[in-house]
Structure 1
Amino acid sequence: MLERAARDAGVTVSDREVQRTRAEFEEQAGGAKALEAAWLQQYGVPPQRLDDNLRLQVTAQKLAQKLGTDTSRPEFWKALSDASKELDVDLNPRYGEWDAEKSSRVDAKTPWVKDVTATDGPPLGL
């Protein structure tokens, strides 16, 4: 969705921009290995996916700038929502449904599955 929204807004990201961003983050983190470890720990992104993730970060920032906003504002999320509608996102029903307005997944209703973490009654064994 982000790539579609960026393309619709005329935003592109070059390999050079991604490498520049990586170099800046490496300097802040204390080197390449430190950045890779931090990204894995904080975001669950393994080292081999770091550049892809950084490209997404740069794309999001550039899209927000193009829209005159930031990534936390409704204008940014509306662009993603519009892209989601254009892409006609479809999920396997076992994972839920796609809510284009919120640009997120809505959990599937599973009335046959009982939530064993619920605290409706006394603790087990008492």
Structure 2
Amino acid sequence: MHRRTALSVSAVLLAAAPLLSACSSDPRPGTAAVVGGQRITTSALQAQVNDVRGAQDRSEQSAPAAGTARLERMKLNKMIQLRILEETAKDAGITVSTREIEDVRKETTQQSGGAAKMEQLALAQRLPVAPDQIDEDIRFQLLLGKIKEKFGDDAFVPALTKAAGALHIEVSPRYGGWDAKQIALGEAQTPWITQRTRPEQPPAGA
């Protein structure tokens, strides 16, 4: 079932042809990226980063904080990839309901040992997720799981590539350039390759 299955597609992504038009020209002032003609503003990006920083400051057990520039790239990468998933899902008639998100959150909370523990684990991931970002993260992973389930291993990446190409992604050079081969922001290094629907477990003894 896609809720419990880690989606490892690195080999497929690395083999994918670079069909996207990568653009690193500065789209416009105050804009981190333009995806499908819609802006991802620097203020929206900074709000996501600030949410994580605030949660880390309040948590005594959060993972060591990534540098601000790196965290900005990681968060922007995830925001762009969510737009790609949404476009792919729309074309394929795939939806994720609020009830599905609530069910996964409830299951994850129970398996984590409570809401506080679940939030702590989410914040300790390689790409930290603040408490108020958890529902969006679950939606991201459910979309990814459903798309992979519908298209299968052979057609999964081409479907994402097609959707991303149609979105004409532009990224401010402040955050790097769009990597067509990886379907990701260059140097962002977020866990797009391997996704899980529950927070990653911390290393033993952490």
* TM bracket (short chain): 0.7 to 0.9
Greater CA radius of gyration, 1 or 2?
1
Higher relative contact order, structure no. (Cα contacts within 8 Å, ≥ 6 residues apart): 2
Aligned length in residues: 103
**1:53 corresponds to 2:133:** no
Structure 2 unpaired stretches of 5+ = 1-83, 188-206
Tell me which residue corresponds to 1:86. Answer: 166
TM superposition shift of 1:63: 1.0
Tell me which residue corresponds to 2:54. Answer: none
Spell out, residue by residue over 1:77-101, the C-alpha distance to the aligned partner (whole angstroms, 9 max, x if none): 2222111100000111343322334
For 2:156, which of 73, 76, 87 is the aligned residue? 76
Change in CA separation of 1:62 and 1:27 when aligned onto 2, cut-off 3 Å: same
CA RMSD for the aligned pairs? 1.7
Identical aligned residues as a percent: 39
The TM-score normalised by the length of structure 1 is 0.73
For 1:15, which of 80, 92, 98 is the aligned residue? 98
Greater percentage in strand: 2
**1:103 corresponds to 2:183:** yes
Tell me which residue corresponds to 2:116. Answer: 33
Structure 1 unpaired stretches of 5+ = 108-126
Q: Aligned to 2:178, what secondary structure does the other structure show?
A: strand
The answer (yes or no) to whether the contact 1:78–1:101 under 8 Å persists in 2 is: no
Q: Aligned to 2:171, what secondary structure does the other structure show?
A: coil
Higher mean alpha-carbon deviation, 10-19 vs 24-33, is at: 24-33
